[in-house]
Chain A
Amino acid sequence: MKYRALRWLRRFSQAVFFLLFIYLFLRTGFFGTDEVSPWLSLFFRSDLYAVAISLLASRTLAVLSLFSLAMLLFTLFLGRFFCGWVCPLGTLNALFSWAFRVKKRRFRPPPLKYKYLLLVVFFAAALYGMGIGTLLDPLGLLFRAMATAIHPGANLVLEGLARIFPALESYTLVEPHFFYGALGSGVLLLAILLLNLVEERFWCRYLCPYGALLSLLSRSNLLRLRIDPEKCTKCGICDAVCPASATPFLGWKAGECYQCFRCHDLCPEKAILSEFSTTSKAEAQGIDLRRREVLLTAASSLLALPLVRGNREVLRPPGAVQDFTSRCIRCGECVKGCPTGVLQPMGLLYGLENYSTPRLATELSYCEYDCLLCQYLCPTGAIGPFTPETKKMGVARVDRSICLPFAYGEECIVCEEHCPVPTKAIKLIEVEAITPRGEKVRMKAPVVVDDLCIGCGICENKCPQSPRAIRVYPLRSSGS
């Protein structure tokens, strides 16, 4: 009876954390104030895996990320309870597995080792300063998919319905944004969810690198499973129902177990119990992994990883630190929170290293001068502190061969009008221009003062010319 209650308690915990995840997601953005709570990104600040990769890759740590040490402690005591009780992707996988109800394995189960080898690859990448491992962080990939695909998609559906039922209109987003990479992140999540058709919680068992990390930490956790040999009839039901391949009957693998209490509950003889105790050496089950495999994977990753290096000369969010790519955990918090939608996940063309890290997509939108949000949302400090006055993302350049006043003798100055720098980084000079009909006209035309320009991109965004006659470019490292 006790274990049935514990299972329900677990489901309750999963529901609570899942709803909290969604609530924090929906609250990530501008709601009247710029100084938002840094705890909006609670899940990522306590994300031991992402924080560890960011720490390894950049050798820096945001103070609030120390919260993830709590996760470390919990795991040392309780094992992979995170996977069973907290992880929102785990909860989704459990839900989909339940919906699909795949009873029988139709294949020989793959070895459990791949997730550990993935972890090795990703930690090796981190040694190179590359945080690509966070691409498969379960929290990050879920958040990115929600931010770029699910949320905008749901809004589209709502907009469609609002055409039939106008009352629904007030529930649609005031400023919906388009997101690059929606397909990539959406398909990744969909694939993970569909893998539950192959086997229950396939991702969690075989692939999740965060799970692998927690597993390594929980091999000798204090909450141990034990089978009472006097009651056990050796029916093997416990192994069959286990969603984690933790094989309680054939020898409990502490590192695989999610502490879900399903086997305790379903054991016909109620022979399985969990209790707090330390582990004797003989009891500790090894991980399904050979030393040679680990070394080989590490060595080959170290050789291959330089190939995925990306272009680092790109427009980054305001306040981006020097080693942005190393520190960023690709969680999508800034992308979701950005009120103008200018922060966009980067595509593969910029190199795998940069994939899904945010860039300033000035061809789509611009960085709002007074907005301070992203620095509070960024859980790792990859977006460091800034004020409107200290923003410096790039620099704008006027293309005089297409700019309306310069090239066509037509009045414009839209860029200067919108320039938010209080003393204007775009100045107007008086020029003599020649219209396409050959008339000479005098008029105002824009020039950029590099030192004042912050590279926000509103000029590019509002330029009425096609193609844009003013664009923002990244600063060159040797001055600009």
Chain B
Amino acid sequence: MKRREFFRLVAGSVASLLLGEAREPEAVEVEGGDPYEITRRALRAFGVKRVASRGDVVLVKPNMGWDRRPEQAADTNPLVVRAVVETAYEAGAKRVMVFDNPCNPAKRTYYRSGIAREARKAGAEIVFLRENHLVKKRIGGEFLKEWEVYRQALEVDRIIDVPIVKHHSLAGATIAMKNLMGLIGGRRGYLHRRIHTAVVDLAAFFKPSLYVVDAYRILKAHGPVGGNLSDVALMKRVLVTGDPVGADAWGAEFLGLRNPPWVKIAGERGLGKAKLKILKA
């Protein structure tokens, strides 16, 4: 543990002891018509100070994996990403980067998803993966022992995971934990051999500090790529939490999944709890 993390932990514990849990909700859910507005509201209710600390270098990791348009709900809503970037700067972050290692050509995916444009409006740095950005690292997971990892993800102060809720033909759904596959390189298809364990390994390794789950539009079938507008459902909701297990459990319910395998595994490994006290703001 770095000294900084230690202080943060101590300060956080002391603060929560003094102020009580009520001041710092476990999770906030907001429903509404505008993805930007509801994300901002949720983040404020969750606590702007919990988004980033002064001087932080922040890596925002939306699901920006596919060369699709926002209406097709294959990528995180660009306005949600913009709200996250803005709030991070408001909280005092020094640098906010938006990054993914997409499945389709990066430039197309960044632009056509609308994320590059919106995030830039909020002052984010749009970073692309280049070959020498990957370093082999010990993951130390149950299934993933060693893998190529995006170097920046290890160097930043915080990772904010901003997934979208989507159907996935193998895992059932892809939400917060599986979204972290965009922080690694190599032959990622290999992870499918034990997909549920693999994504938990990734969540335990990267430990994002915050999860902003986009369920404004969700993709209910033919995921994770989609393409058919009839597979998209408008849910108009976002969830903000620090708990990956709770985030995925919340998102999976939209797809009719209760306690899916990876949520169970993550819960057993102590990454969080599936039943969060959700504040509806």
Contact = CB atoms under 8 A, between A and B. Distances in A.
> Do A and B interact?
yes
- Classify chain A's interface size: 20 to 34
Interface stretch (A78-86, A130-138, A193-201, A409-417): A409-417
B105 interface: yes
A339 B170 contact: no
Contacts of B194: 411
Interface in A126-172: 159, 163, 169, 172
A110 interface: no
A418 B222 contact: no
B54 interface: no
A370 interface: yes
Given A411-B192, A444-B170, A464-B190, A418 B225 contact: yes
B170 A417 contact: yes
A414 B189 CA distance: 6
Contacts of B271: none
A411 B107 CA distance: 30
Contacts of A418: 103, 225
Contacts of B111: 30, 32
A51 interface: no
A411 B169 contact: no
A422 B80 CA distance: 24
Contacts of B168: 417
B106 interface: yes
B4 interface: no
A410 B191 CA distance: 11
Contacts, number: 80
A419 B225 contact: yes
B67 A368 contact: yes
Contacts of B227: 369, 420-422
A420 B68 CA distance: 10
Contact of B189 (A175, A412, A419): A412
A421 B226 CA distance: 8
Nearest to A446: B169
Contacts of A462: 103, 189
A423 B229 CA distance: 11
Contacts of B224: 417
Contacts of A419: 225
Contacts of A169: 130
Interface residues of B, number: 30
Given A413-B170, A418-B103, A420-B227, A369 B195 contact: no
Contacts of A163: 132
Interface in B168-222: 168-170, 187, 189-190, 192-195, 222
B228 interface: yes
Contacts of A7: none
A106 to B, nearest CB: 48
A246 interface: no
Contacts of B103: 418, 462
Interface in A457-480: 462-464
A34 to B, nearest CB: 8
Contacts of B107: 30, 174-175, 339
Contacts of B130: 159, 169, 172, 174
A390 to B, nearest CB: 15
B105 A175 contact: yes
Given A174-B107, A417-B168, A422 B193 contact: no
B128 interface: yes
A60 interface: no
The 9 A-B pairs of least Cβ separation, nearest first, read A422-B227, A464-B189, A414-B189, A422-B228, A174-B128, A32-B111, A413-B170, A339-B105, A464-B187
9 contacts: A174-B106, A370-B112, A412-B189, A413-B192, A417-B170, A418-B225, A420-B225, A422-B226, A462-B103
